[in-house]
Chains A and B, each alone.
Chain A
Amino acid sequence: MLEVNISGLNLKSPFILASGILGVSFSSMKKLMDAGFGAITTKSIGPKPRIGYKNPSIIEIFPGTFLNSVGLGNPGIDYFISEIKEIKANNIPLIVSVFGDTNELYLEVALKAQEAGADAIEINISCPHAEVSSIGINKDLTFDLTKLLKEKLSIPLFVKLNPNVTDICEIALAAQEGGADAVIAINTLAAMLIDINTMRPILSHGSGGLSGRAIHPIAVKKVYDLYKILNIPIIGCGGISNWEDAVEFFLAGATSLQIGTSLYQGFDIVKKINKGIREYLELNNFKNISEIKGISHEFKTQKVPDF
């Protein structure tokens, strides 16, 4: 009922662990799969080990809404290869999120990940607190990078979109044209928090990316807009903390979803979301999650009137 096929990957559940959350060790990934994820996305992995920004780098700012600027801290692909092999030895569908300083370095990391056994590559061009976001705000750069990787990789290629742009659709179309097999919408929204007592920004980097509850309606709108123009699948991401949030994304046009921030509540949240969706589908006489994809588009919405 919840099985999905996304660009050739057969997943037992449409929920994928979002990049940047708990994605460094096999042991937590295994627990997450047991909790009901269909696939795991790793933390973004680069060509070299990277410490990232100092703390505070992840803080809850309202209940369920977080601000982070980790700055792509990661152990580097050469170290991470053994982790990928261990994950694959346990048959966990694995998407490796990659980044690099240049297109060639993106490719180098992606090829090493593919070689180690990754099932798909997600390119991070959208982290709002690192230099890679400069690619994700430009359709030509997005096209070039996607095309280069698509030509050299044999596994599916996903592009995680930056919502901090004027028109997310033109970037998504560039990714599609470059050969992306799916897009993820959305990465975190650029945001900041200033402490009024010390009068300074709280995150060590100054600003960061907003995730969690507050961004859910924004992400739904992006998926809704993208569904109208794209031919490739959309993986929805942003603030899913219960099954109702997830259903909204499917109705807006998502094929699959990523969950990250809400895991602060514990891994059981994934079980609850799977259960809630199953009950919703049964109640409404649907046999598979794919049947509700994009249904909200069938309803006419009021056009801008003539004033």
Chain B
Amino acid sequence: MIKTVKIKRIIGECAGVKTISFKLGNNIIPKPGQFVMIWVPGVDEIPMSISDYDESGNWSITVKDVGECTNALLNLNVGDFIGIRGPLGTHFKIPPKSSKYIFLIGGGIGMAPLKFLSLQLKESGFTFQIIEGVKNKDELIYLDELLNIKNQNSEFFCSTDDGTYGQKGLATELFEEKISEIKLEDMKNTIVYTCGPEIMIYHLFQLCKKYGIQLFASLERIMRCGCGLCGLCTIDPVGILVCKDGPIFNLEQLNEMDDFGKYKRDFTGKKINI
């Protein structure tokens, strides 16, 4: 079912990135990691991670200008209508209480579902470490909110490719440094949640596999239906559907996917390189 709602609030996060909020009510409560199909009337409909939800039923998405539809979305104003289908897909599972180290690792706009997760983890009393990796400081998002989290026992680190903020280098390199401080017997009680470019997720996957760390990653594919019918988001050779079996997958599932880190399908259904 598609529902059109008015945009209630727009917040600029950084150049070319905005958080758009709308009131959808609280009959259905979205969970961190789930997504919605966002229809920009007259333009297109695309999957977007939910980046926030509050008890009065306000939902948020964080949009980066990456194509025609996101561009059109960023040009909308408060009061304009957008169409929503969702929440769709699986969500990040809350970590077990036995978890010793919890990492939330986001690459660029991939921070969106992790920000939502961080709010929930904070509310549930977990302490965790956030790593946000971007190209340069102008691309940093949610800085104020994440710095605020830092003041409450959890930690927040940044990496920039050019070293203009935080540590110079990749988020994966920063993570590797962090885990070098973890004792071997604590690795199995370490848990990583991630979203971002698939190449980054793939590197994290290799690290987590090597050290026996639990991993939950959000994958992205082209989709039409968002509910298991069109088949465009099928991952070979296991026939897993990102829209319905995902978008959140654990290490064991990722391990079975030959396509992971390599291929996706375009709108014709043809496999193309990621």
- The interface of chain A, by Cβ under 8 A from chain B, is 21-31, 43, 49-52, 54-62, 66, 68, 70, 73-76, 79, 195, 197-198, 200, 202, 204, 260-261, 263-264, 266
- Docked-complex contact B39 and A202, CB < 8 angstroms: yes
Task: Give Cα distance in the complex from A266 to B39, angstroms.
Answer: 25
On chain B, the residues within 8 Å of A51 by CB distance are: 266-268
On chain A, the residues within 8 Å of B244 by CB distance are: 266
- Docked-complex contact A264 and B228, CB < 8 angstroms: yes
Known: A66-B229, A264-B227. A200 touches B44 (CB 8 A): no
Interface residue ranges of B31-84 to A (CB < 8 Å): 37, 39, 41-46, 81, 83
Question: Which of B115-123, B176-184, B202-210, B234-242 has 4 or more CB atoms under 8 Å from chain A?
Answer: B234-242
- Docked-complex contact A55 and B42, CB < 8 angstroms: no
Interface residue? B16 (CB, 8 A): no
Number of A-B contacts (CB under 8 A): 121
- The interface of chain B, by Cβ under 8 A from chain A, is 1-2, 4, 37, 39, 41-46, 81, 83, 85, 224-225, 227-232, 234-239, 241, 244, 265-270
Specify the chain B residue showing the minimal Cβ separation from A45: B269
What's the nearest-Cβ distance from chain A to residue B71, in Å? 14
What's the nearest-Cβ distance from chain B to residue A77, in Å? 12
Task: Give Cα distance in the complex from A51 to B2, angstroms.
Answer: 23
Task: Give Cα distance in the complex from A25 to B230, angstroms.
Answer: 11
On chain B, the residues within 8 Å of A25 by CB distance are: 231, 234, 236, 239, 265, 269
Task: Give Cα distance in the complex from A22 to B245, angstroms.
Answer: 14
Known: A74-B268, A76-B268, A264-B229. A22 touches B45 (CB 8 A): no
- Docked-complex contact B81 and A197, CB < 8 angstroms: yes
For the complex of A and B, 4 pairs with smallest distance between CB atoms:
A55-B45, A27-B239, A24-B269, A58-B225
What's the nearest-Cβ distance from chain B to residue A82, in Å? 10
- Docked-complex contact B269 and A74, CB < 8 angstroms: yes
- Docked-complex contact B229 and A261, CB < 8 angstroms: yes
Task: Give Cα distance in the complex from A22 to B239, angstroms.
Answer: 10
Task: Give Cα distance in the complex from A43 to B229, angstroms.
Answer: 11
Interface of A is mostly: loop
- Docked-complex contact B4 and A22, CB < 8 angstroms: no
What's the nearest-Cβ distance from chain B to residue A228, in Å? 33
Task: Give Cα distance in the complex from A23 to B229, angstroms.
Answer: 9
On chain B, the residues within 8 Å of A75 by CB distance are: 268-270
- Docked-complex contact A50 and B268, CB < 8 angstroms: yes
On chain B, the residues within 8 Å of A264 by CB distance are: 225, 227-229
- Docked-complex contact A197 and B4, CB < 8 angstroms: yes
What's the nearest-Cβ distance from chain B to residue A235, in Å? 20
Specify the chain A residue showing the minimal Cβ separation from B265: A24
Known: A22-B231, A55-B45, A195-B83. A27 touches B238 (CB 8 A): yes
**A-B contact sample (9 more), CB < 8 A, given A28-B234, A195-B41:** A25-B231, A28-B241, A51-B267, A55-B37, A56-B45, A56-B83, A57-B225, A68-B225, A198-B81
Out of B4, B44, B231, name the residue touching A28 (CB < 8 Å): B231
Sample of 29 A–B contacts (CB below 8 Å): A21-B229, A21-B230, A22-B229, A25-B234, A25-B265, A27-B234, A51-B267, A51-B268, A54-B44, A55-B37, A55-B39, A56-B45, A57-B45, A57-B224, A57-B230, A59-B1, A60-B85, A66-B225, A66-B229, A70-B230, A75-B269, A76-B270, A79-B270, A195-B4, A198-B81, A202-B2, A202-B39, A204-B45, A264-B228
- Docked-complex contact A263 and B229, CB < 8 angstroms: yes
What's the nearest-Cβ distance from chain B to residue A18, in Å? 10
On chain B, the residues within 8 Å of A49 by CB distance are: 268, 270
- Docked-complex contact B224 and A70, CB < 8 angstroms: yes
Out of A21, A54, A56, A70, name the residue touching B2 (CB < 8 Å): A56
- Docked-complex contact B225 and A195, CB < 8 angstroms: no
On chain B, the residues within 8 Å of A59 by CB distance are: 1-2, 85, 225
Task: Give Cα distance in the complex from A282 to B1, angstroms.
Answer: 39
- Docked-complex contact A22 and B83, CB < 8 angstroms: no
Specify the chain A residue showing the minimal Cβ separation from B266: A51
Known: A55-B39, A197-B4, A202-B39. A24 touches B45 (CB 8 A): no
